A and B are shown apart, each in its own frame.
Chain A
């Protein structure tokens, strides 16, 4: 299987050193870009590759870049979204700590594709302070040796990269809230339109891309967009790094081609569920997507279209595996608490709705659920879905609705008048 992102993972961090990186073929893509490509051709290759945003939204990357105006009065920016906070997702962490230079190279090529972006930022979640240091060391090395900074490799092209840590807000992974935070303001999302590609950081055209997306770019330059697309499916090109967690024998990050069967990932690569237990549920794309049953997981391939076809989303690829012991009510309650905690408070439905959801969940947790509480949860989620200012509201609502739809008995147990029957049955 062709590896795009994890080629240097086996070096266990040695590739952080510039010479090791260079020795394993590093910065060749950047050199090739500067020598042989025009900015238009770079965007073209990325469009052909059908690379889609790996942060969760899956928006075609080449298309996003093409929205940036060629000429701009304000400076342009490439902002790397390294605020990996989606529950179940840990891919960017390993990507950055094992192969930081690949990210820098990807960003530099992106800056070139936009027709010049001298100052660029990596917005990294504050909790990854140790990775921030790794990145800063890599940047310093690259600057020193002419792979970043002014006049890269003598070409006259300038690209500076700065690392900016967040401070513990999931909402700052949303691209416009990220820009607000980067500018030093409260992390609230912005109205779209205008989109960041036109009006972004400090008012200038900005491309915000996930770590994994940017790190795929050098391979695309070296091997061509068509080759990248061929690794995956027609509409989802390339490979993806999935973080598998939960009840599996070998949790971790796995790079597989798009279209890979989910059951193969769980039962072969990750060694299946320990002690022969049965699969109950899978959350395929990080917690913000609908939960799926074992049957649905069985039929599911890991690409954007296939997961959407069974009623969920590929998202960030954080696959959470739950076996038969799992109480889906409790897992959903855990998630609801997360969304309430992380809600930024800007818009009414998310701010008040997540609070109310958590309150009802807590009540049911204590087995004090009233009849109608499940319907209440479903309706509250319905009233948040599609009505919030940014997708965090949707992310809070979808797990609740899907969990009730597919795992209702776990919820029924929590309603007080059912308790007697449950206790009798137990």
Chain B
């Protein structure tokens, strides 16, 4: 990292070249007050709080718009600077309502904090008529009190730059400026980032309104359980109830994770499922048609006896163990160990559909290097195949956008569905439904371009250009969804060899050509073409090196790195632990369900609603389950599957369990327990442990989950050297540190299979050419079956069942 030397308040400071003065001051321990400055957003310099005196410049300068240069002399603590800050605070307070007693933000309000730190304790403004406007709700999740606004415009910038939604904007002029949207009601994906970054109580979370005061709140960082990105959330609890989850609190504290200040609607607004009334609170046992509550001892004993009976009468393999993809590593490990040692069955699998990424295929030819969010943010080129990260992996979508915006990364999109990320793409190909795999065929073999283009119903020229661009790029992050299957998925491992890293000159020329093209691009926000990147000319001059100040970007060990957009928060963990049919050599989940009453006589289902997940085939699955001799379900809610069970064990949610999970970047992260178990629920691993002991096999763990992880670290490949305390102190640790290249013989086979696949694509298949990109959040209801009072607002269709309105629950599944 190149550095410069400058002087701040008489002290010499060494700083990264090009870094903003405000960040450099903070790194040196001098906190400059600010409202409009926010790392990751374009510089604005409108609040005038961060003014400092820079030698040789006539007026006070804003530190947030000033990159440091060699020999700069800065004064931040003179009387002139202090008076100006106090004046700015006084200006802001002159129209600010005295709402602190009733404002949610009090106690963690940046305006309060900066007034105390830099303002004066008197006011000269005696207004008869402050511009009072009533507080109003402007979206299902946002309250807005316009009078509290300091017009820092963090919210509008976040919506434009991080989310690319432009849902919220400023209206009116001058001192009548308000934050609103045209029509008054904000139509957006409800990510809530705008509420988190707001320094005052202007934007507030609806579910959290009047629930707690910050000094009543205990906050602990944990990891979100909804998608495979693995964002950290700061979970706020009050009296041992989980009341909110945010990316950052009003003091700027975050969960310290890979997502920095970013979070999506799911991570933020759906935590109310934890305390919802529908949770299973006690163990239940079937008596006839009903499930009746009982004690843990009884339920465990009963289950143990029945499972032992099945084992002795039909043999070990007659029992299957199915886990949910969201269960933590420790839970998965216990289930696997239980299956192998206690039951003696190879039929252990985590629930995954045919239309999810088949990790076995992905890893078939070695271990392709996995990309973390940091890699995506620093890639030269990003290839997005299939999926829609805006919907399903919002942090990845954010990283892609960030890379394009801040680093001029080249984005290439191949998808059969409309996606908002196409707006940032250099080339976006909308392909025939189901033909994304053909793209891999074209990448691996130049001669296959024509056939692949036809199969995908795109032009061979565009396809060729994309292939060339990827060939000449230095570091490429390939982000892919479940549209890649079979040979296409396996073929990814061969990209490194076929589109090998270019020589330094080729890469440099390509980079220069691209920069040149960007420099020629006429920028306009209102053109009907997709808008160009980096609208604000100032961003072009000061690109942010990394999202974290003075952090080094991660190292790339190869040209390609992959982000498999897995469906569940711990799919990769389940796979690596061995809780997956191809790894354990047994039947897959669907095979087990099909074999109910035949090969499979008993099932132990942990955390998964197999009936609900089957959608329209749910009735058929139910019938299958009815054929079992015995069904044990450990669950949070009385799902359809739980209703079929003979024994239901209440399990904890992510907020009540401690453990680890692995995200789609191969990072192991610590999930912390933030509240004690609700009612009589117990952690999944503990239930399995107790069950095993009662069946006569002590799996070796007492009562501490870190013992489980210690054994994982000792026994499972990729986890060596890890421990809970290391994770707690050092942050995420990378699993799968090795990467191996595929063997040569396999490549011809892949090419052949790919050619067959391309030939087999139905030319009559349709292509979705719609302009309108899906409103973010519109497909959520397809993945998450049920909805709570608040999370109901995330999706539109009403859920009606049996003629009455359900109060169902959205929870990670």
Hey, which bits of chain A sit against chain B, CB under 8 A? 73-75, 169, 183-186, 190-191, 193-194, 199, 202-204, 340-349, 351-356, 359, 376, 383, 386-389
Contacts and interface: CB of A to CB of B under 8 A. Distances in A.
A342 B177 CA distance: 12
Contacts of B59: 386-387
A383 B175 contact: no
Given A191-B538, A387-B87, 11 more contacts: A184-B525, A190-B536, A191-B537, A194-B537, A351-B151, A351-B174, A352-B91, A352-B94, A356-B94, A383-B91, A387-B60
A359 B90 CA distance: 15
A194 B541 contact: yes
A42 to B, nearest CB: 25
B88 A194 contact: no
A344 B525 CA distance: 20
B48 A389 contact: yes
B534 to A, nearest CB: 9
A355 B91 CA distance: 10
B526 interface: yes
Given A342-B174, A388-B48, A356 B91 contact: yes
A343 B47 CA distance: 14
A343 B174 contact: yes
B523 A344 contact: no
B520 A185 contact: no
Interface in B155-193: 170, 172-177
B95 A352 contact: yes
Given A73-B520, A74-B520, A203-B537, A191 B174 contact: no
Interface size range of chain B in the complex: 35 or more
Contacts of B88: 348-349, 387
B679 interface: no
Interface in B65-99: 65, 84, 87-88, 90-92, 94-95
B616 interface: no
A354 B177 CA distance: 14
Interface string B499-519: 000000000000000001001
Contacts of B170: 186, 345
A191 B66 CA distance: 10
Given A191-B65, A194-B538, A199-B537, A345 B525 contact: no
Nearest to B526: A184
Nearest to A350: B174
12 contacts: A73-B516, A73-B520, A190-B537, A191-B45, A202-B524, A203-B522, A345-B170, A347-B47, A348-B47, A355-B94, A355-B95, A387-B88
Contacts of A184: 524-526
Contact of B91 (A185, A343, A349): A349
A71 B557 CA distance: 40
A123 to B, nearest CB: 16
Interface residue SS majority, chain B:
loop
B48 A349 contact: yes
Contacts of A347: 46-48
Contacts of B521: 74, 203
Contacts of B541: 193-194
A131 B469 CA distance: 51
Interface residue SS majority, chain A:
loop
B519 A185 contact: no
Contacts of A190: 536-538
Contact of A74 (B125, B173, B519): B519
B813 interface: no
Contacts of A191: 43, 45, 65, 537-538
Q: Pick the most buried of A75, A352, A355: most chain B CB atoms within 10 A of its CB.
A: A352
A345 B87 contact: no
Nearest to B124: A376
A74 B173 CA distance: 32
B51 interface: yes
A59 B177 CA distance: 32
A204 B541 CA distance: 14
Nearest to A199: B537
A387 B84 contact: yes
B215 interface: no
B154 to A, nearest CB: 14
A355 B43 CA distance: 25
Contact of A356 (B125, B174, B523, B525): B125
A341 B172 CA distance: 11
Nearest to B517: A73
Interface in B243-295: none
B174 A349 contact: no
B179 to A, nearest CB: 11
A356 B522 CA distance: 41
A212 B525 CA distance: 31
Contacts of B537: 190-191, 194, 199, 203
Contacts of B94: 352, 355-356
A225 B686 CA distance: 91
A199 B125 CA distance: 41
Nearest to A343: B174
Contacts of A353: 91
Nearest to B176: A345
Given A73-B516, A383-B91, A386-B59, A345 B524 contact: no
Contact of A344 (B47, B150, B174): B174
Nearest to A355: B175
Nearest to B60: A387
A186 B524 CA distance: 13
Contacts of A346: 46, 151
Nearest to A385: B59
A184 B541 CA distance: 23
B173 A345 contact: yes
Given A191-B65, A349-B91, A354 B46 contact: no
A74 B538 CA distance: 16
Given A347-B47, A348-B47, A348-B88, A204 B522 contact: yes
B522 A75 contact: yes
Interface in B580-626: none
Contacts of A340: 174-175
B635 to A, nearest CB: 52
B546 to A, nearest CB: 22
A201 to B, nearest CB: 9
B175 A351 contact: yes
Q: Pick the most buried of B87, B125, B519: most chain A CB atoms within 10 A of its CB.
A: B87
Contacts of B523: 202-203
Contacts of A386: 59-60
B414 to A, nearest CB: 29
B150 A348 contact: yes
Contacts of B172: 345
Nearest to A180: B525
A359 B124 CA distance: 12
Given A191-B65, A340-B175, A344-B174, A349 B522 contact: no
Contacts of A354: 174-175
A351 B174 CA distance: 6
Nearest to B537: A199
Contacts of A194: 537-538, 541
A302 B24 CA distance: 47
Nearest to B51: A387
Which 4 pairs across A and B sit closest by C-beta, in order of nearness?
Answer: A352-B91, A383-B87, A184-B526, A345-B177
B45 A389 contact: yes
A161 to B, nearest CB: 18
Interface string B300-323: 000000000000000000000000
Nearest to B96: A352
Contacts of B125: 356, 359
Q: Pick the most buried of B60, B92, B175, B540: most chain A CB atoms within 10 A of its CB.
A: B175
B337 to A, nearest CB: 60
Contacts of A348: 46-49, 88, 91-92, 150-151
Contacts of B124: 376
Contacts of B519: 73-74
Interface string B520-555: 111111100000000011101100000000000000
